[in-house]
Amino acid sequence: MKVLEDRGESLARIIIEKIIKRETSVAVVGLGYVGLPMAVEQAKAGFLVTGIDKDISKVEQINNGKSYIPDIPDDVLKNLVENGRLRASHLYNLLNTVDIIIICVPTPLKMMKQPDLSYVLTVTREIAGHLKPGQLISLESTTFPGTTQEVVLPILESTGLKAGIDFFLAFSPERVDPGNKSFKPEDISKVVGGVTALCHEVACVFYNQIIKHVVPVTSTDVAEMTKIFENTYRAVNIALVNEFMLLCDRMGLDMWEVVDAAATKPFGIQSFYPGPGVGGHCIPVDPLYLAWKALDYDFRLRFIDLAEEVNNQATDYVINKLVRLLNQHKKCLNDSRILVLGVAYKKDIDDIRESPAIKIISSLQKNHADVVYHDPYVPKFKMPGKNGIYLENMDLSVEEINRADCVLILTDHTCLDYQWVVDNARIILDARNATKLVQRGKEKITKI
């Protein structure tokens, strides 16, 4: 046993020294909104980085210095590629050539709202097929507590190599916030947990080279639970304000005014705002991972169930509010032309995953509305379903705005001139309070 411990200690000292000297190479598997920013930060910190993704178009764009993520400028990416700090490939056999492997693949839900770990499983098996002594593997994909220990670890150890002795395994949840100009990846504290003390030490040393503040925790389970708690906190609080919004609608009150007034209290409150529902790869998904895992402990997370119900109800409410607004203007939804502004799940990004806008458009179309959209970040998208058609972005013009029976604002992109939209619209249903600063035409605006 002492020999094994000494071997683990020796390998740990070797990789730590290489990390500090920037002599380690890194592979980031999954080059989406999480993986590519992380790969860029690692390359900027002085590491040789290989991004691996099965999407050939992403690989080609990166190698040509072209960014497909708004938060990463082309010139930054191009500079790293041209200087040999960053490259991309679709080949998993390159995993055998690196010292550190970061897993940043999606963790979506199955049809019945159960965790879908297929991407994590596929990548972990690929890593196992190329695993070599001394490597650090860090899972960053958001998942339920126990995934690293119960799912990833057994696959890697099936090779005969042991964590903390032959290789090092950690979990460090991604905290990337797409479109957030205030916090860059290196500014966001990084929670790190290892499956052994040596795994933990190696992972912390690595992340300390990239991130300004590393937060060590006692286990991978704690790190996994931390991320899900963060997103469940948001989901529950958004549901709270959405439920208040539903009541304020009946009482004739402006929920945005209520939230802004409450925010003047200097302690005890954090502002969350109502909207048409929740979207993205985190808030609608992550809490359900924990709810599923909790059943193993004969425990039901009622707040999560209720938050999902209320946030879905907010989406239905927007549709009903639109129908009522049209009726007030002697229109019915059938054959009405609805101009949707914004389909991304939040402002200033192009991500439409789980976007409430897509669900709303789908429902409006099923009720025979004539729906068009404008989103400067989303040139086109495919409607849900096997036979879903593609919708294409429509250029915004005075004629198109005026032609719409109602303008429905579902994403408050900052690049849009809302005063100009209001000036030329017939009526507006604003689900994001995007028109709060307009000076003219307020009588045309209805907030959800």
Catalytic residues: 282
How far apart are alpha carbons 209 and 206 in whole angstroms?
6
Strand (E) or helix (H) holding 74: helix 74-82
What six digits make up the tokens of 391?
């919708």
Is 168 exposed, middle or buried, given 0-12, 13-18 or 19+ CB atoms closer than 10 A? buried
What's phi and psi for 138, nearest 5 deg?
A: -125, 125
What six digits make up the tokens of 332?
């019915």
Q: 85: closest CA among 33, 8, 22? A: 22
356, 283 contact by CB (below 8 A): no
Contacts of 313 (CB under 8 A, 6+ apart): 242, 246
> 3-state SS of the chain: helix, strand, coil percent to 5?
45, 15, 40
Cα–Cα distances (Å) from 68 to 154, 351, 405, 429, in that order, read: 35, 11, 34, 31
H runs (alpha helix) in 252-301? 255-262, 286-294
Q: What is the DSSP string of 78-147?
A: HHHHHTTSEEEES-GGGGGG-SEEEE-----B-TTS-B--HHHHHHHHHHHHH--TT-EEEE-S---TTH
